[in-house]
Amino acid sequence: MKIEICDLKDLNLYLTKFVKELRDELIIYKLNGEIFVKSSICPHFGGEIYFCKNKKKLRCKWHDWTYCPKTGKCETYNIKTNVRNYKVSTYPKDLKNYDFFIENNKLYLNNDFT
């Protein structure tokens, strides 16, 4: 079973699409002519991820955390602070990457997506 994600002609800067089989929303974008597919849900707190064209970074709309557009690795490093005498640490997770293929100018997820 293959899942069609988008037609390549519809991919300008980036687009997002919910895929019910994955129970995830994906962000599909181009960077220097290369296509990437990742989860568009920020693993920090569930915010929406978008592609910032000026800085060529993936960013969370809620807390402005950044992710490497090639690897999905979180670039917002461990944040430590004190809140009412409680020591708080945050250990960021990376964005989930998805493998895909292109056939007849359409982008599909690989068959092993489960």
CATH number, domain of 44, equals: 2.102.10.10
Q: How many domains is the chain partitioned into structurally?
A: 1
The whole model's pTM is what? 0.78
Q: Give a yes or no: residue 97 inside a domain.
A: yes
CB 47 within 8 A of CB 60: yes
Containing structural domain, residue 55? 3-109
Rg (CA), the chain: 16
Q: Give a yes or no: residue 114 inside a domain.
A: no
- Tell me the pLDDT tens digit for each residue of 68-108: 999 999 888 666 666 566 666 667 788 899 999 999 999 99
Nearest CA to 108 among 29, 22, 2, 25? 2
The whole-angstrom separation of Cα 23 and Cα 113 is 11
